[in-house]
Structure 1
Amino acid sequence: MDRELFAESWKMLVVRGVIGIVFGLLAIIWPLETAIALMVLFGFWALIDGISSLIEAFRSETQGSRLGLAVMGVIAIIVGLFAIFSPSVAANTLTLIFGIYLIIRAVFEVFAAFSSYRLTPRWLLLLGAALSLLLGIFFVANPGRGTVGIAVWLGLIALCWGLVFVAMGLIVRRGHVNPSPATPATA
């Protein structure tokens, strides 16, 4: 039984790895198209989430804030439709918001570096603040390029994970085909 499980698991690891490699390469080759496709997928998810929130708001069994669920449902539907019908603008907007977040985070990291209570060395917090600030400024100044940059990074990560999964699958297969001999127990 265990041998059958390993015989199948190595194949799934390799398949997952190949899918990761293909997705990674496509994201690197066509980063703008990747960002737009991901935004459209996000739009459908937000649309479904909004519809289900509205349904939940009007169910008789619902407890808690029906108004909150209804408002969140309407907002999710609007965001979902915006992402579906204008994905490039939505991606740029999210990148801009992310850039603002990184700039604000940098300010707090600098403050944390000079606060009296800290668990990490000051230089690490300042390094993190510098990276957050640089990325934040880049995203705010160039939301379009920032979106493409995020898609390329996502592609690189998927490519690396794909290679790891293929390697793991082949290692598992090699262990299944050539199982190591059991060491005899000493008496």
Structure 2
Amino acid sequence: MTDGSRFATSPSLLRALGKRWWLFLLRGIVGIAFGILALLWPGVALLTLALVWGAYALVDGAFALAAALSGMRGGDTPRWWLALTGLAGIAAGLLTIVWPGITVQVLLLLIAAWAIVTGVMEAAGAIALRKEIEGEIFLILAGLVSIGFGVAILAWPVAGAIGLVWLIAWLAILGGAAYVALALRLRKLAG
């Protein structure tokens, strides 16, 4: 630690990163390009978002269902709420993947319904777990946040869709610009 900082970089790491500065540059350029394209064609970005969300809901639902089924063999704690959460996620994910064009039109309604159902099931699960664990309030809070998110999307669906695409686009542009700046700095240090 020659400069006194906690996270000093070794010269070999700096050399290795400096030799590959162009990878950071490419990553930044791709991020900026994606962000600009998402701003220019939000519909395509929303379709892509729908497919990615569908995959997430499917995997999340499968894990929730697996957790519910694995716990049914022993113990007295009811796990129906976890099984319903899993089934809702799997159904929403499959519908999104099978009909992405239609899903784009109703994506926010599906996400809102999924968030509300998940929130209600989490709150119900927390109440069922009250006798088993301490700290069930955190599961209740997670459920309430999910319910609030779903209600907000139902209240402002168009704003939610456009806002989501713009948020992702600007995140990609700003992150890409940061990688370009890092790449130029690494190139200078490598020289």
- TM-score category (smaller protein): 0.5 to 0.7
Distance in 2 between the 1:6 and 1:166 partners?
14
Q: Please, what is the CA RMSD of the aligned residues?
A: 3.1
- Answer with 1 or 2: which has the greater Rg: 1
Q: Give the count of matched residue pairs.
A: 137
Kept after mapping to 2: 8 A contact 1:31/1:149: no
- What does residue 133 of structure 1 align with? none
Mapped pair 1:87 → 2:96: no
Shift of 1:89: 3.2
Distance in 1 between the 2:32 and 2:78 partners?
45
TM-score, normalization by structure 1: 0.59
- What does residue 187 of structure 2 align with? 173
Identical amino acids, percent of aligned pairs: 28
TM-score, normalization by structure 2: 0.58
AA of the residue aligned to 1:164: A
Shift of 1:49: 1.6
Structure 2, unmatched stretches of 5+, are 1-11, 114-151
- What does residue 5 of structure 1 align with? 16
- What does residue 151 of structure 1 align with? 165
AA of the residue aligned to 2:104: S
AA of the residue aligned to 2:167: W
1:148-183 superposed Cα distances (whole Å, 9 cap, x missing partner): 343133212311221121111111210111xxxxxx
AA of the residue aligned to 2:84: V
Structure 1, unmatched stretches of 5+, are 98-135, 178-187
Shift of 1:53: 2.1
- What does residue 79 of structure 2 align with? 66
AA of the residue aligned to 2:95: F
